Chain A
Amino acid sequence: DTGVSQDPRHKITKRGQNVTFRCDPISEHNRLYWYRQTLGQGPEFLTYFQNEAQLEKSRLLSDRFSAERPKGSFSTLEIQRTEQGDSAMYLCASSLVGASGGYRPYNEQFFGPGTRLTVL
Chain B
Amino acid sequence: AQSVTQPDIHITVSEGASLELRCNYSYGATPYLFWYVQSPGQGLQLLLKYFSGDTLVQGIKGFEAEFKRSQSSFNLRKPSVHWSDAAEYFCAVRSGGYQKVTFGIGTKLQVIP
- What residues of chain A lie closer than 8 Å to B36, measured between beta carbons? 111
Could you mark each residue 87-113 of chain B with 1 if its beta carbon is under 8 Å from any beta carbon of chain A, else 0?
Answer: 000101000111111111110000000
Is A56 touching B103 in the complex (CB atoms < 8 A)? no
Which chain A residue shows the least CB distance to B45? A111
A56 in contact with B44 given A42-B105, A42-B106 (CB within 8 Å): no
Could you mark each residue 92-107 of chain A with 1 if its beta carbon is under 8 Å from any beta carbon of chain B, else 0?
Answer: 0100000000010111
Report the count of interface residues on B (CB-CB < 8 A). Answer: 26
Task: Please tell me if A28 contacts chain B, counting CB pairs below 8 Å.
Answer: no
Could you mark each residue 44-55 of chain A with 1 if its beta carbon is under 8 Å from any beta carbon of chain B, else 0?
Answer: 110010000001
- What residues of chain B lie closer than 8 Å to A55, measured between beta carbons? 99
Give the CA-CA distance A79 to B36 in the complex, in Å.
27
Report the count of interface residues on A (CB-CB < 8 A). Answer: 27
Q: List CB contacts (< 8 Å) of B1-21 with chain A.
A: 4
Q: Which of A40, A41, A111 contacts B43 (CB 8 A)?
A: A111
> Residues on A close to B: CB < 8 A?
4, 31, 33, 40-45, 48, 55-56, 58, 91, 93, 103, 105-114, 116
